[in-house]
Structure 1
Amino acid sequence: MTQISIEHSATVTARGDWRLIIASTLGGLFEWYDFYVYAALAVLLSEKFFPKGNETVAFMGTLAAFGAGFLVRPLGALVFGRLGDVVGRKVTFLVTMSMMGMATIGIGLLPTYATAGIWATISLVVLRLIQGFAHGGETGGAVTYLAEYAPAGRRGLQTSFLQTTAAFGLTVAVLITLGLRSVLTHDQFSDWGWRIPFLISVFLLAMSMYIRSKLDETPVFRRMKAAGQISRSPIAESFGAADNLRKVGLLLIVCSGLGAIFGTCLFHSMFFLNKTIGLPIQVVQGIVCTAVIATAPLYLLFGWLSDRIGRKPVLLAACLLSAVTTFPIFKAMTHYGNSALERFVERTPVTVVATDCQFRLFSPPESDCDRIAAQLSDMGVRFDVERTGDKGDAEVRVAGQVLSNPDRNVLRATLIAAGWPEKADPQQANVAMLAVLVFLLDLYLAMIFAPIAAFMAELFPARLRYTSMSLPFHLGAGWIGGFLPFSVAAMNIHFGSFYAGLWYPVAISAAVFIVGLFLVPETYKRVM
């Protein structure tokens, strides 16, 4: 069947445009708020929902639970994508929002591991899965809804409002968590105060549901329905037809670049500054919040620019800049955030000598070598691994001193004696430069994120749009970005350097730039 061409209706007033933008972006605000609250409280959640005794395993478990929400997004994309293409955009909007909200609130009501044991851990993972399932349909719905109302010459600008919710979500999350930490004692926040950011979601949910319930169906969908052109099998048509499947593959490539950039920018940078560099979480949140707020207007700028010069140049420029500058940016973070750690890494050799060091991505450390490597990586210490044929205990050599199979406390004491700074000194850190460095990462995210909504909507015909764009988006952006902190941490442990895992996003960004340069089409002049 032919694709329907719909011009922007003159009846959609400026006031109506803003109502649509607000309603469409509220889901994104909810999503990003949930992201940032979970990321900001990841260390604390690892203590609450995982057994004590191994901080590294608990933290990795928290990252895995975080990633689990992304794991099921493609399934949600298929279910809700089909619902959106067959039943309608508005109904799907309401269902995904209600599921997301209830799951987020549910985390704030969970019993801890100390109270419920392993069932607390399982419950956290289940709620993350529900969140991810609902998120799988939310993004495609918001993009489809807003793009089908936007005029052709302003589609990039108007859909870029969806991406500014990253800044607003972060701002709300940081203000709430910092505010609670400032008015509550450390024990109060650790005991029950951490629940409040999740429970506050009830207000976002109520407001979002009310506004979305007042929306009309998009004119594109109404006209398709009136003409009898609704797809009976959008999943089969989206992924069974060769031409459409080729477009799905191209979108998957572009969204993988997006995932690499947003995972590095929004999640790994925060973990790096807090856990590796050793800056207090309040300082890190202040840095990240400042950078994200400063970047917010740039989403609109790059959305507008994509309406003028095209989506492709803006998207690919972000991937190229990310591939070239990620390593220098994170090395500069170490220099400006904890120069004592930088000097220690450069001057103090640390070597693990053992026979049984393995790369473990989805399993906890099993051998002594794996355990020691995880502990060193967790403490932000660069180390080399020397494999030996002897099957004795693992050894750690720190500046000439030899430790035989040390536990965490002995290892920490030895490192401190050798000059390792256990924590960064916030007074010595150049916070302004750190904010500039995080801003650069946010800039790349704005460049690729701003035009991607319009690009996705323009790539596919209206009758398959919701389904076709949702799956590759969540496979690329969701899986690559969602599992990035976990994968980077695992690579750091294996290779003995807190920079090693950066090859993960750098290689992806470079590959997307090269492939996209030759294969990704330009879409900004297409009529929807």
Structure 2
Amino acid sequence: MAYNTTDVGEVRSRPMTPEEKKVIIASSAGTIFEWYDFYLYGSLAAIIGAQFFTAFPEATRNVFALLAFAAGFIVRPFGALVFGSLGDLVGRKYTFLVTILIMGISTFLVGLLPGYASWGVAAPIILIVLRMLQGLALGGEYGGAAVYVAEHAPANRRGYYTAFIQTTATLGLLLSLIVILIVQGYVNANYPMVGVVDLQGAPVMGPDGQQTMITAFNSWGWRIPFLGSIFLLLISLYIRLQMEESPAFTKMKEEGRASKAPMREAFGNWKNGKIALIALFGLTAGQAVVWYSGQFYALFFVQNVVKVDSFSANVFVAWSLILGTGGFLFFGSLSDRIGRKPIILAGCLLAALTYFPVFEHLTRTANPMLYQAQQTPVTVTHAPDDCSFQFNPTGTAKFTSSCDIAKASLAKASVNYTSAEAEGVTTVTVGDTVIPSYDGAALTGDALAAEKARFDGAVTAALGQAGYPLAAGDNTTVAKASHFFDIFTGQKLMIVITLTYLILLVTMVYGPIAAALVELFPTRIRYSGLSLPYHIGNGWFGGLLPATAFAISAQTGNIYAGLWYAIVVALMTVVIGTIFVPNGTHKKDIFAE
């Protein structure tokens, strides 16, 4: 029987049946749980870094923790290749079952994995392997969910219904933050602080001569959300088993029109390969950096650069997600009327134009004392060849030069500084105080410890005189939430509003993207075709953003310099998308090819 695309197009324009709505809700709910699993690590990156990367210098630990987070994104395109092909060959439903199993089991095992102190270097290696398995599963998840929903939705509301899939990423992050807040509050309220020990089991002593203490949540309580994800896995499996196969895929299989080699057909000829490149550089690359800047880097920035405590930072970001998530449905629906392209590119352009003032406003509002201290001139004077770019993917580089030691110390304190070149040992100038650094490679044992204590003490004293709030108790201006609803002061509301603006930019670029990608590819290769450019854009351009931005900021001495990465990529997408992405795809019959 011939396949009548006109009839199908008319059928798809009718309102959705209750059964179809149930299928889409079930698909979205399962995807929320999968994103929850994936985002737990991102939300707890700093705490996990202290557990699994204790062998690395403290100043570079955040970079390694973020790199392990990025590892899950790096492999996502490979998951798109494997599961995209599987989805086009055997169906959407069974691919969903495989991806949720891999994701759920990997997340549960992270909660069981001993730290560096117990298993040594094997611990961070296994952690990264588990992150990569999560990334592989997620690489096959999104394309299937987007295609599955789009092939059920009425033609004139495709943007609106696929926007529900777009909300799942943010709702998964919100769910992870809420679980973390509940567990963190309960554990810290009912269990005592835990003393920190080094790799030999000896107590780690603080500047006051007392053992360094951390909260029970930071010590072991962070594992509970990972272990608890096993219940979400069981719920997700139940939901996926209730789902029916996509009617478009079933019809195509019955009529023998399915592709026998979807990967080769999707990317092995210029006609389809060109579409994938346009989708990557003209849509998903810019969408990705705006998404990860607005959600992940914003959380990391508030917590680790602006020095807001993790509980308060999670509260502020959680409220911004609650207030902003409706934007996905709004912009998805709007794209059904005016098109996908103008909304996505407008979001990228707004982000590029406003990121610098918005993040500076975030610092000034959330930690006024830190912002004021950053106006004091600080200069690092170093020999031309003494500084390294402190981004170490392999973990083998040792940052021991006098310049690296000085820059690492200032980056840790969120100091804005400038650089100058002169021969000799690096010096740090804070106001009128000049502090010589030291060469960590030339010293050992007690001599190294003495020089470190001398330099750290001098830098701490000089920054303290300049107004830097190095000790939390000395800073009465930093924003702090005592509980989830403690946001109703001028300072806290302004933080939430600022973060909500970043989330609204996310909804502009991310709300219509699923429909935009679905409409670029024919049914027979749709799962494979859209999955790869989406996951290269989001896995590589987006997933590497937090670690890259942090390293750029640490190297340049400007806490905002890392934003250039997102701005340049977003502007690239505006230019390429304006020229090459077709207009009017929202009017396309996706069953006609």
Superposition TM-score, scaled by structure 2 size: 0.85
For residue 429 of structure 2, give the secondary structure of its aligned residue in structure 1.
strand
Maintained 8 Å contact 1:3/1:461: no
Report the equivalent of 1:358.
388
Structure 1 residues 184, 352: closer, same or farther in 2, change over 3 A? farther
Structure 1 residues 329, 470: closer, same or farther in 2, change over 3 A? same
Maintained 8 Å contact 2:64/2:392: no
Distance apart, 1:13 and its partner CA: 5.4
Report the equivalent of 1:386.
420
Residue identity opposite 2:378 in structure 1: P
- 1:104 pairs with one of 95, 103, 107: 107
Report the equivalent of 1:341.
370
Residue identity opposite 1:30 in structure 2: F
1:222 lines up with 2:250 in the alignment: yes
Distance apart, 1:196 and its partner CA: 0.6
- 2:580 pairs with one of 519, 522, 525: 519
Report the equivalent of 2:314.
285
Distance apart, 1:90 and its partner CA: 0.9
Report the equivalent of 2:304.
275
Structure 1 residues 332, 485: closer, same or farther in 2, change over 3 A? same
1:332 lines up with 2:361 in the alignment: yes
Matches within 5 A, 1:438-457: 438-457=499-518
Maintained 8 Å contact 2:164/2:329: yes
Distance apart, 1:211 and its partner CA: 1.2
For residue 278 of structure 1, give the secondary structure of its aligned residue in structure 2.
coil
Matches within 5 A, 1:221-300: 221-253=249-281, 254-300=283-329
Distance apart, 1:468 and its partner CA: 0.7
- 1:479 pairs with one of 535, 540, 544: 540
- Which whole-Å deviations, capped at 9, do the CAs of 1:249-286 have from their partners, x for residues lacking one? 11101110111101111111111111111111111111
Report the equivalent of 1:26.
29
What is the total number of aligned residue pairs between the two structures? Answer: 526
Distance apart, 1:359 and its partner CA: 2.4
- 1:414 pairs with one of 454, 462, 478: 462
Report the equivalent of 1:431.
492
Distance apart, 1:190 and its partner CA: 2.4
Distance apart, 1:12 and its partner CA: 8.8
Distance apart, 1:53 and its partner CA: 6.1
Take 1:81 and 1:512, find their aligned partners in 2: how far apart are those partners? 24
Matches within 5 A, 1:163-202: 163-185=166-188, 186=193, 187-202=215-230
Distance apart, 1:16 and its partner CA: 1.6
Structure 1 residues 491, 2: closer, same or farther in 2, change over 3 A? farther
Report the equivalent of 2:487.
none
Distance apart, 1:423 and its partner CA: 5.7
Q: Based on CA coordinates, which of the two structures has the bigger radius of gyration?
A: 2
Distance apart, 1:467 and its partner CA: 0.6
Distance apart, 1:373 and its partner CA: 1.4
Maintained 8 Å contact 2:177/2:318: yes
Distance apart, 1:19 and its partner CA: 2.0
Residue identity opposite 1:216 in structure 2: E
Distance apart, 1:226 and its partner CA: 1.1
For residue 421 of structure 1, give the secondary structure of its aligned residue in structure 2.
coil
- Which whole-Å deviations, capped at 9, do the CAs of 1:164-211 have from their partners, x for residues lacking one? 223422332122111122122253212321101111111111111111
Structure 1 residues 464, 46: closer, same or farther in 2, change over 3 A? same
Structure 1 residues 415, 245: closer, same or farther in 2, change over 3 A? same
Take 1:393 and 1:3, find their aligned partners in 2: how far apart are those partners? 77
Report the equivalent of 1:370.
404
1:155 lines up with 2:158 in the alignment: yes
Report the equivalent of 1:40.
43
1:87 lines up with 2:85 in the alignment: no
Residue identity opposite 1:301 in structure 2: F
Take 2:169 and 2:93, find their aligned partners in 1: how far apart are those partners? 23
Maintained 8 Å contact 1:279/1:426: no
For residue 428 of structure 2, give the secondary structure of its aligned residue in structure 1.
strand
Residue identity opposite 1:359 in structure 2: F
Identity of aligned residues (%): 40
Maintained 8 Å contact 2:376/2:466: no
For residue 587 of structure 2, give the secondary structure of its aligned residue in structure 1.
coil
Report the equivalent of 1:403.
435
Maintained 8 Å contact 1:257/1:477: no
Residue identity opposite 1:196 in structure 2: I
Maintained 8 Å contact 2:88/2:526: yes
For residue 500 of structure 1, give the secondary structure of its aligned residue in structure 2.
coil
- Which whole-Å deviations, capped at 9, do the CAs of 1:68-113 have from their partners, x for residues lacking one? 1111111110000100011111111111111111111111010111
- 1:495 pairs with one of 540, 546, 556: 556
Take 1:378 and 1:210, find their aligned partners in 2: how far apart are those partners? 46
Farther-moved stretch of structure 1 (1-10 vs 131-140)? 1-10
Distance apart, 1:154 and its partner CA: 0.8
Farther-moved stretch of structure 1 (55-64 vs 253-262)? 55-64
Residue identity opposite 1:201 in structure 2: S
Take 2:187 and 2:148, find their aligned partners in 1: how far apart are those partners? 42
For residue 497 of structure 1, give the secondary structure of its aligned residue in structure 2.
coil
Maintained 8 Å contact 1:354/1:385: no
Take 1:506 and 1:2, find their aligned partners in 2: how far apart are those partners? 46
Take 1:71 and 1:12, find their aligned partners in 2: how far apart are those partners? 39
Distance apart, 1:438 and its partner CA: 0.7
- Which whole-Å deviations, capped at 9, do the CAs of 1:123-177 have from their partners, x for residues lacking one? 1000000000111100001001111111101100000001222342233212211
Take 1:18 and 1:402, find their aligned partners in 2: how far apart are those partners? 67
- Which whole-Å deviations, capped at 9, do the CAs of 1:365-408 have from their partners, x for residues lacking one? 353312321331222101112122x2x32221111212121637
Maintained 8 Å contact 1:288/1:438: yes
Maintained 8 Å contact 1:341/1:421: yes
Maintained 8 Å contact 2:164/2:328: yes
Distance apart, 1:292 and its partner CA: 0.8
For residue 485 of structure 1, give the secondary structure of its aligned residue in structure 2.
helix
Residue identity opposite 2:355 in structure 1: T
1:316 lines up with 2:348 in the alignment: no
Maintained 8 Å contact 1:333/1:434: yes
For residue 385 of structure 1, give the secondary structure of its aligned residue in structure 2.
strand
Take 1:255 and 1:280, find their aligned partners in 2: how far apart are those partners? 32
Take 1:495 and 1:3, find their aligned partners in 2: how far apart are those partners? 60
Residue identity opposite 1:44 in structure 2: I
Take 2:149 and 2:476, find their aligned partners in 1: how far apart are those partners? 43
Report the equivalent of 2:143.
140
Take 1:483 and 1:450, find their aligned partners in 2: how far apart are those partners? 22
Structure 1 residues 90, 36: closer, same or farther in 2, change over 3 A? closer
Maintained 8 Å contact 1:351/1:398: no
Take 1:434 and 1:426, find their aligned partners in 2: how far apart are those partners? 16
Distance apart, 1:51 and its partner CA: 2.2
Take 1:95 and 1:35, find their aligned partners in 2: how far apart are those partners? 16
Maintained 8 Å contact 1:278/1:422: no
Structure 1 residues 190, 349: closer, same or farther in 2, change over 3 A? closer
- The unaligned stretches of length 5 or more in structure 2 are 194-214, 439-451, 480-490
Take 1:82 and 1:9, find their aligned partners in 2: how far apart are those partners? 25
Maintained 8 Å contact 2:12/2:153: no
Report the equivalent of 2:522.
461
Structure 1 residues 116, 490: closer, same or farther in 2, change over 3 A? same
Maintained 8 Å contact 2:38/2:107: no
